[in-house]
Structure 1
């Protein structure tokens, strides 16, 4: 397993990160522990979670993912062997069960979010604390353009950084990152940190896959120049890039278990067509569609670590094994050809 230094931090992380948002919904606690054990056996030292998880978000299950990781940390005694990342939920009218619907990034809310995450995780500190989505109006979760008509009150970035600075000084978190951010957001976080002597973000967790390469339209340069590492999530596009739904529209997975209104960007006709073409390309070159999608993501210069998730150890093994696959120049050219015709349909 390869490792890298995450952004401008002192965190050494594996280039594959174990995503955990199925723990507590699609996976039992025992299955979660088995995945964590196997990931460490394979050299993965990086675990990502969130206070919102598991998905899809529900009041009845919220916090179960962190709790499952917490019981594993206590049982295994492996806390010092892992880099632990979690996320604070941003504003959402649909999740009023998180801090009574006051989930934002002011000092009071961040302190409460950190304290409850620490309790569930059964640890004294979090290595990487991330803002799950912006406080401000921004084009995220499938929105393809910025809409000024959606402006709303929000917590200023400098105020959020000041609150995070206090949590770092208290020893509760070590480094900070953002998620579902834009190029403007990354630059503003860096600008405010440098101007006011506040913590610099070291990472950005954004969707990045064969069907969503929007990171390459400005965010890549911003993160390169400001030394912010990309944690690529949904590299398999909610399972679409495995071609399992193409082979069997009723296959078990998030896109059939949960309402289509929860993840509409992965159900667009253009996404289905792109996934069909990538699957054909993979199979024509003796690979599974999963192997092609992950090998491509693992090879990208802009990715610090790729977040993979699974509901079985077999899936997890295939996902990790794809790290050994090297795509030929011809395959890369074919990928870019499909991308040119169907550009980032899941953006």
Structure 2
């Protein structure tokens, strides 16, 4: 399906910014393109009102890659001469070496690396705190996040795949100490993986409006758009269901064809069909791919949320994976 017009806006949770429903992620994206392609993709995102970019320095834990993706993004911003008001930025705070590597240092390094390309962005609009580590002092994380908000590094924050009890502690700490609570959760969410976002823990927060959902990894590293043997690093296989997801792809493609849509459009429309979803984060690496993804908005408008969800009901493949974020068999 084709898309025309402007990308819709939703609020990224209570206290969070208004953002387009689609965001472009940075993990191994900007370094998969040539400079002209990077500029063209960012320009297209600005044109359709979807200039929301997840940008991070991948340098800790399993992400200790010394990636240049953030440097290349900063160069593209500078080359395009965009004003800071033309786009929104979501940064990352890593817990892998925290508290030895504090949040202030991480923020300074991330902003300096983007600026190294010539783009003086000043601050992020929001950040995601992750990946979760079991020995972290959650209450202190909330206090240290507040210190960065007070310092002007960003204005709101969310969490990435945190266990439910840890997120509850963060919410309770913020309420008890008058601090800024997380406004959204970035979770693995898509046609095949739904348990965490739709289960009793996060699902309750979403239904109550305490948090918004930022859906990530909706394509399972490309598998659900037909790249059945990804040759690049992709997200963790929570619950060990990836082989089943590969086997499900032909059915995904068949359902998409029945709507006159592509598998990518079906996957993104499914995410947006959940009213808790404020934003979907994906990794388009060309204008053509990005434009195809935009067609998900037209698909959802044409078919409706109920029909989209009913069409893929059989493909919820992680029903037996615990929904509290602990990631163990039920």
Q: Same fold by TM (over 0.5)?
A: yes
Name the structure, 1 or 2, with higher relative contact order (CA <8 Å, separation 6+). Answer: 2
| Counterpart position of 1:231 | 214
Is residue 107–residue 163 contact of structure 1 (8 Å, CA) maintained in 2?
no
Is residue 305 of structure 1 aligned with residue 279 of structure 2?
yes
- Tell me the SS of whatever aligns to 2:220: coil
Is residue 132–residue 178 contact of structure 1 (8 Å, CA) maintained in 2?
yes
Is residue 163 of structure 1 aligned with residue 156 of structure 2?
no
1:134-283 equivalences in 2 (<5 Å):
134-136=132-134, 154-214=135-195, 215-217=197-199, 218-225=201-208, 227-245=210-228, 255-258=230-233, 263-264=236-237, 268-283=242-257
Is residue 73–residue 79 contact of structure 1 (8 Å, CA) maintained in 2?
no
- Equivalences, count: 303
**Counterpart Cα distance in 2 of 1:115 and 1:297:** 33
In structure 2, do the counterparts of structure 1 residues 299 and 276 end up closer, same or farther at CA, with 3 Å as the change threshold? same
**Counterpart Cα distance in 1 of 2:127 and 2:307:** 40
| Counterpart position of 1:334 | 311
Across the aligned residues of Structure 1 and Structure 2, the Cα RMSD in angstroms comes to 2.6
In structure 2, do the counterparts of structure 1 residues 268 and 192 end up closer, same or farther at CA, with 3 Å as the change threshold? same
Farther-moved stretch of structure 1 (326-335 vs 81-90): 326-335
5+ residue gaps, structure 2: 1-6, 116-120, 322-326
2:126 to 128, 147, 153: 128
Give deviations 1:56-92, integer Å, cap 9, x for gaps. Answer: 9454x42x2222222233332331222210112222x
Is residue 225–residue 263 contact of structure 2 (8 Å, CA) maintained in 1?
yes
**Counterpart Cα distance in 2 of 1:164 and 1:18:** 24
Provide TM-score, normalisation by structure 1.
Answer: 0.79
Give 1:309 shift: 1.4
Give 1:43 shift: 1.1
Give 1:36 shift: 1.2
Give deviations 1:126-180, integer Å, cap 9, x for gaps. Answer: 11122121232xxxxxxxxxxxxxxxxx331111111121111111221121112
Give 1:303 shift: 0.5
In structure 2, do the counterparts of structure 1 residues 159 and 263 end up closer, same or farther at CA, with 3 Å as the change threshold? closer
Give 1:192 shift: 0.5
**Counterpart Cα distance in 2 of 1:269 and 1:237:** 11
Is residue 127–residue 175 contact of structure 1 (8 Å, CA) maintained in 2?
yes
- Tell me the SS of whatever aligns to 1:4: strand
Provide TM-score, normalisation by structure 2.
Answer: 0.83
| Counterpart position of 1:71 | 75
Give 1:263 shift: 4.6
- Tell me the SS of whatever aligns to 1:84: strand
